[in-house]
Amino acid sequence: MKRIIHTIALIGTTLFFTNCVEKKETKVLTKKVTFKKEGDLKLLKAESDSIIKNLQIEIADNEYETQTGLMYRSSMKDSEAMLFIFENEIRRSFYMKNTEFALDIIFINMDKKIVSIQKNAQPLDKTSLPSEAPAMYVLEVNAGLSDKWGLAPGDSIDWTTN
């Protein structure tokens, strides 16, 4: 009995001192991520090959960049876009986790033709946003721009890098 009381007293003392320890708050300092122009992209109308819009692009072409995309940014100019370049053409799916502003996600096949568009993808949403056909490239622009520019499946892209 004496042993049980001693054990209970020891546990109580440990809990008391553990709760009295000052908790330190850790702050994570992150550098603001800003747009880095790596090329220029033209959106072209299918019927006429006329230029719909010229954009400055940032390119995501390695695993870290394609996984991070536009996450942790607060905005992007309407003249800017992010182009994801993948090694193969498959059905792709994106989501908006940690992306703070709405986007149009444009899926493009290996022939650089638009195959589908996920319009007005909402900030911080974890819902899967799939392509309707295999895609090798994905272009992200501010929400509403694909409608404003009249983009449709069959339209194409072309780009140059700096």
Higher pLDDT, 23 or 154: 154
Residue ranges per structural domain of the chain:
25-161
Task: Identify the weakest region by mean pLDDT among 32-41, 80-89, 95-104, 137-146.
Answer: 32-41
Q: Is the dihedral of CA 113, 66, 71, 34 positive or negative?
A: negative
Closest CA to 134 of 155, 119, 113: 113
For 25-161, the fitting CATH number among 3.20.20.70, 3.60.20.10, 3.30.70.100, 2.60.120.1140 is: 2.60.120.1140
Q: What pLDDT was estimated at residue 34?
A: 86
Kind and range of the H or E element at 146?
helix 145-149
| Listed residue (130, 140, 128, 59) closest to 92, CA to CA | 130
Which is nearest to 70 in space by CA: 83, 53, 89? 83
| Contact criterion met (CB below 8 Å) for 146 and 102 | no
Which tens digit of pLDDT belongs to each residue from 5-36?
555 555 555 555 545 444 555 555 456 778 99
User: How many other C-beta atoms lie within 10 A of the C-beta of residue 159?
Assistant: 19
The residue whose two tokens read 């996984």 is 67
Looking at the whole model, is its pTM more than 0.75? yes
pLDDT tens, position by position, 91-119: 999 999 999 999 999 999 999 999 999 99
